[in-house]
Amino acid sequence: MSNKQEFTISEETRRFLDSEHLLFINGDWVKSSSGELIPVIDPATEKKIADVQSGGSDDIDSAVKAARDALSGEWSKIPSHDRAQILHRLSDEIEANFLVLSELEVLDNGMPMELAQYSIASHGVTLLRYYASWAPKIHGKTIPVSPGGAMNGDSLTYTKREPIGVVGAIVPWNSPLIFAILKLAPALAAGCTLVLKPAELTPLTTLFFGHLIEKSGIPKGVVNIVTGLGESAGDALSKHNDVDKITFTGSTEVGKKIVSSSVGNLKKVTLELGGKSPVIVFDDADLEKTIPGVARACFFLQGQNCMAGTRVFVHEDVHDELVNGVKAMAESFQIGHGLIQTNDFGPLISEEQRKRVIKYIKQGISEGATLICGGNEVNEEGFFIEPTIFTDVTAEMTIAREEIFGPVLCIEKFGNESLEEIANRANQTTYGLSGSVWTSDISTGHKMAALIDSGQVSINCHAAVDSAIPFGGNKQSGWGREFGEEGLDSYLKTKATTVMY
């Protein structure tokens, strides 16, 4: 445990932390109408690093009004090639401010520096550039029919793809900047305007990003950022009758609330929710690659990751070797502050989250699973917990059913069951987000992937994420898809026009 080690931050990050953090509405930085503040804590030190505004329904009203006005203003007249250029400029700004953004993401969320840098470079920058390149490619079709055949004369029918309108984007704390960009990039490429509500626990990178948005030439009101609590700012945004679409990433529980909040004006809703993803390891898997793959699948971001592979089903013949290998990896993680480069395992986001995870670990033990390693809090400052592995897990145990959102891996065995029987066990969950299959037999890989009821399945890797690959959940893991062309579609609506002549 090395989180007591000294770390340094750049002058610019220090200046930003010490500045006043305001709401970004209609191109201005303003205080919330209540004047209340939310403290922001570094989860690795438990120390306050900043205060942000606690926006409420009045602030959401102002932000939605700004977004509505901007939708039909200058923004609607900017040619799509120029919209693309603006997104490229925003991406350039991220590259130019890479160090500050990475440091802030580590301080705010607790993730290791290497991961912050990887995610900002390979997802933040790439998402903006990928969707920038879509902007001029958005177009409709001509449809060669003669509607109402009785009507004399020729006709032409064409479709146009229009921005869906004002978007409310509500994001979680586990990868704050990337989730904000994942919503903003396709929304702006489509010509929409936006009100962003970051998670109360991790608002800083999104606020810094607001300053980059200002610099990039995006007209005022196109992007608005309202920090605040879910039950006030988030609720007001999702209920707002002048919002056309909510895009939400977070828990299934809040996702259901968003759906009921949307009924007032039947706004469109995209949901990326929780997961309990299976990892299936066959006896012919290459264990040299599978062992680190399985460890990363679960322990990446300390398990606070919607696509985490938290339920491993392993063939009995390779069970012990896999368990020992993953245990050795879990025990080799350097736990500590993410700004110390050698650390690769950070804290959980909050004390509340740590208590929740400890409760699940105790339940795992009391319900009869075997604790192989971990299970303890790390008793120094910061919300750290050891990477934890259970074997002898069975389907009815709480740890096998509920999303823990922490570093807890549950391992079950299979013998000579058929692929269908293994899939039935893997699919015994209300979730359906991700999953992976590890085997040297390509037919087994494809057959098994087809049987897993998830929006994404990877073979011999876990959770392959890329700007161009659609991602989203089946069952209670969500509605719709983000990333790729489908991610763009959800910010567009089709208008059909027919002319008779």
Q: Which residues are catalytic?
A: 272, 306
Contact track, ligand NAP, 306-325, x by CB under 6 A = x-------------------
Find the shortest distance in angstroms from Cβ 231 to ligand NAP: 5
Nearer to ligand NAP, 104 or 314 (CB): 104
Give the residue, chosen from 70, 411, 433, 449, that forms a contact with ligand NAP under the rule CB under 6 A: 433
Stretch that binds ligand NAP, among 15-23, 129-137, 185-193, 229-237 (CB under 6 A): 229-237
Contact track, ligand NAP, 266-295, x by CB under 6 A = ------xxxx--------------------
Nearer to ligand NAP, 250 or 445 (CB): 250
Find the shortest distance in angstroms from Cβ 201 to ligand NAP: 6
Give the residue, chosen from 62, 227, 247, 249, that forms a contact with ligand NAP under the rule CB under 6 A: 249
298 is a contact residue toward ligand NAP (CB under 6 A): no
DSSP state of 264: G
Find the shortest distance in angstroms from Cβ 474 to ligand NAP: 11
Find the shortest distance in angstroms from Cβ 275 to ligand NAP: 6
Number of residues that bind ligand NAP (CB under 6 A): 31
Which backbone phi and psi does 382 adopt, to 5 degrees?
Answer: 100, 155
Residues 118, 246: contact at Cβ < 8 Å?
no
Q: What is the DSSP string of 436-490?
A: EEE-S-HHHHHHHHHHS-SS--EESSS----TTS-B--SGGGEES-BSHHHHHHT
Residues 177, 105: contact at Cβ < 8 Å?
yes
Nearer to ligand NAP, 93 or 272 (CB): 272
Nearer to ligand NAP, 200 or 386 (CB): 200
Nearer to ligand NAP, 254 or 372 (CB): 254
Q: What is the DSSP string of 354-422?
A: HHHHHHHHHHHHHTTPEEEE---B--SSSS-B--EEEES--TTSHHHHS---SSEEEEEEE-S--HHHH
Nearer to ligand NAP, 434 or 444 (CB): 434
| Range 171-210, binding ligand NAP (CB under 6 A) | 171-174, 197, 199-201
259 is a contact residue toward ligand NAP (CB under 6 A): no
Q: Which of 429, 466, 111 is nearest to 279 (CA)?
A: 429
Nearer to ligand NAP, 80 or 251 (CB): 251
Judged on CB neighbours under 10 Å (0-12, 13-18, 19+), 284 is middle
Nearer to ligand NAP, 196 or 437 (CB): 196
Give the type of residue at 34.
S
For residue 312, give both structure tokens.
Answer: 């491993």
Strands 408-414 and 436-438: unpaired
254 is a contact residue toward ligand NAP (CB under 6 A): yes
432 is a contact residue toward ligand NAP (CB under 6 A): no
Contact track, ligand NAP, 133-172, x by CB under 6 A = -------------------------------------xxx
262 is a contact residue toward ligand NAP (CB under 6 A): no
Stretch that binds ligand NAP, among 123-131, 227-235, 276-284, 340-348 (CB under 6 A): 227-235
Q: Between vectors from CA 172 to CA 170 and to CA 177, what angle results, nearest 5°? A: 90
Q: Between vectors from CA 277 to CA 275 and to CA 283, what angle results, nearest 5°? A: 175
Q: Which residue is nearest to ligand NAP (CB)?
A: 230
Residues 455, 473: contact at Cβ < 8 Å?
yes
Residue 234 C-alpha from the chain's centroid: 16
Strands 370-373 and 309-315: unpaired
Residues 230, 249: contact at Cβ < 8 Å?
no
Residues 483, 469: contact at Cβ < 8 Å?
yes
Give the residue, chosen from 235, 244, 386, 489, that forms a contact with ligand NAP under the rule CB under 6 A: 235
CA atoms of 386 and 98, how far apart (whole Å): 30
257 is a contact residue toward ligand NAP (CB under 6 A): yes
403 is a contact residue toward ligand NAP (CB under 6 A): yes
Find the shortest distance in angstroms from Cβ 28 to ligand NAP: 23
Find the shortest distance in angstroms from Cβ 121 to ligand NAP: 19
Give the residue, chosen from 234, 325, 346, 374, that forms a contact with ligand NAP under the rule CB under 6 A: 234
Give the type of residue at 266.
L
Strands 309-315 and 277-281: parallel
Give the residue, chosen from 231, 321, 352, 441, that forms a contact with ligand NAP under the rule CB under 6 A: 231
Q: In sequence order, which residues have a C-beta less than 8 Å from that of residue 239 and are 6 or more positions away?
A: 261, 264
Residues 410, 311: contact at Cβ < 8 Å?
yes
CA atoms of 212 and 183, how far apart (whole Å): 16
Nearer to ligand NAP, 199 or 279 (CB): 199
Stretch that binds ligand NAP, among 142-150, 230-238, 407-415, 488-496 (CB under 6 A): 230-238
Which residues make up the interface to ligand NAP (CB under 6 A)?
A: 170-174, 197, 199-201, 229-231, 234-235, 238, 249-251, 254, 257-258, 272-275, 306, 403, 405, 433, 473, 478
